[in-house]
Chain A
């Protein structure tokens, strides 16, 4: 039972470098989300997708891009990393209906120096 898998789990970047976080789910969920978690801020939505080939902006989308080329995968990209993007990133997926429980990955800790 893999559920939602995020790679990598940890990454250190220098300012200006680029990277991609991969989220994979094996539950055939339509909806997928990327959140970031910062101390005292709870979780904030970066981008989300309501199905293969679709993406939409969330609360804090600036500096990030996403793609959903396959239903099971949702990629989060940082084109030019900034120290403000140091955070823990969580991917989640949910049922088609959209009111279902969100299933979260284990998180990816990103540090930008």
Chain B
């Protein structure tokens, strides 16, 4: 079965702390893509990153970084020096060859960053 698990339902940190959001995925396909989306309190879904199954290089974008490890089927997301504006629900998602582009979402992790 194709599945995405975000075990952390809610995380609360104080501003400037680092925080890691966990994502574990399951798929039988060898070709797949992993995504992270952010949903701020305003409700829209904002694309953050896409990673394909053949590229295990970690990626850094400003305060955001992503660690993709096929050996543990994980695609974790770290925010360094968190800010109040990072408060949102973060979704990890998976698409694979047979999905017709459909994203399979995890249930999301709600991050609250307090000043």
The chain A residues found within 8 Å of chain B, CB to CB, are 31, 33, 35, 40-45, 48, 50, 56, 58, 88, 90, 92, 94-95, 97-104, 106-107
Of A35, A102, A107, most buried by chain B (CB within 10 Å of CB) is A102
CB-CB under 8 A for A43 and B102, given A98-B95, A101-B47, A107-B43: no
Q: In the complex, how many residue pairs between chain A and chain B have their CB atoms under 8 Å apart? A: 58
CB-CB under 8 A for A42 and B91, given A102-B47, A107-B44: yes
| Chain B interface main SS type | loop
The chain B residues found within 8 Å of chain A, CB to CB, are 9, 33, 35, 43-45, 47, 50, 52, 91, 95, 99-103, 105-108
Q: In the complex the two chains form, what is the Cα distance from A87 to B35 in whole Å?
A: 23
Of A42, A95, A100, most buried by chain B (CB within 10 Å of CB) is A42
CB-CB under 8 A for A98 and B100, given A42-B105, A42-B107, A43-B105: yes
